[in-house]
Amino acid sequence: MSSTTLAPRRAPAAFVGVPVALLSSAVFGTSGSFGKSLLEMGWSPGAAVAMRLSGAAVVLLIPALIALRGKWHQVRDNWMTIVLFGLFGVAACQLFYFNAVQTLSVGVALLLEYLAPVMIVLWFWLVKRHAPRWLTIGGTLVAIVGLLLVLDLGGARVDLVGVLWGVAAAVCLVVYFFITARQNDDLPPLVLAAGGIVVGAVALWAVVLSGLMPLKFVFSEVHLGGVAMPWWISLTGFVLLSTVAAYVSGIYAARALGSKVASFVSLTEVLFAVLWAWLLLGELPALIQIAGGALIVIGVLLVRVDELKDPDFADESAMVAEAVPAAHERPEEQPSEKAGV
């Protein structure tokens, strides 16, 4: 059996996975506040994300190299998974999100990004021909209504470009959930996180240095929690908490829980992000947007409940294992070929 074949989730792993997933959501939730503090100081989104990934790559590289001693086949056999994770789950997802944060509040941008679970359902419906049941349809409609409230079409100014960036981040988050939930005993979470972040950092620097996106740094004071402090404090939290701790714990939790439950628990990141934005930036969405966010969460919960109740619904990870195999995986050999070996 291939090392990437899905194994049943063990109860102890799932039990430990929930608090780890909550920890991941809590530290991921700080990224909007740390990142926006740098943007408000004058940094460009490309500069903020490139420095975030570069710092995280430096921190993770040595532990990953130690873990890879004598096991370099882990990288060779899974290079496609690492590259896709780095390009979409790390670089593009972060860059799109922080482009959205430039014109939207942290909470609103994150709520748009967390339409990803609904997109997963639509992907299965359109691509895998797994028609949703009535509860899934209802949850999707509730989430769409919530999205309209989050946009506050009749009140606050809506920046269409910011909304499009947020939706693009949601698409990348779908890729993140699929790849991180994929069971692979040959690719430890630390190695996947380090490899993906290195790939993401290289991709981001290539984009900004080519002139496709602006690269602007400002080294002055940032304001967090109403207190002025050196810029490097915000960047350090951005690297160590929002990136290193968040990605390593997030990959572990997704593998322990599976993509369904992991994406469900990850919805708490919205709550953590709003809390951090309030504490660190003094920023809180309007009441109608908070109500819309609640509807998005309720809609996604309905979708998840329906999926877990459906005995015929296959785990997303298995689908992605078919669509994005590791580089060393090949189709099953025919009996005649095996006999000739």
- Model confidence over 197-217: pLDDT tens digits? 999 999 999 988 888 888 899
> Could you count the other beta carbons within 10 Å of the beta carbon of residue 114?
24
Q: How many CA atoms lie within 13 A of 152 on its CB side?
A: 18
Q: CB count, 10 Å around CB of 243? A: 29
Contact 76, 259 (CB under 8 A): no
Q: What percent of the chain has pLDDT over 70?
A: 77
Confidence band, pLDDT 50/70/90 cuts, at residue 129 = low
Task: Say if residue 25's pLDDT is above 60.
Answer: yes
- Give the pLDDT band (50/70/90) at residue 106: confident
Enter the pTM of the model: 0.72
Give the C-alpha separation, 65 to 58, whole Å.
Answer: 11
The residues, ordered by sequence, that sit 6+ positions from 155 with a Cβ below 8 Å of its Cβ are 286, 288
102 phi, psi to nearest 5 deg: -60, -35
CA-nearest of 233, 205, 202 to 219 is 233
43: left (phi over 0), alpha (psi -120 to 50) or beta: beta
Which residue, chain included where needed, has tokens 């040595």?
A: 62
Closest to 49 in 3D by CA, of 117, 104, 121, 97: 97
Report the alpha-carbon distance of residue 212 to residue 114 in Å, rounded. 27
pLDDT at 334 over 70: no
* Residue 78: C-alpha distances to residues 96, 192, 258, 322, 327 (Å): 26, 9, 19, 14, 6
Distance (Å, whole) CA 286 – CA 249 = 32
First-to-last alpha carbon distance for the chain, in angstroms, is 18
- Each residue of 275-321: pLDDT tens digit? 888 888 887 777 887 788 788 778 777 776 776 666 555 444 455 44
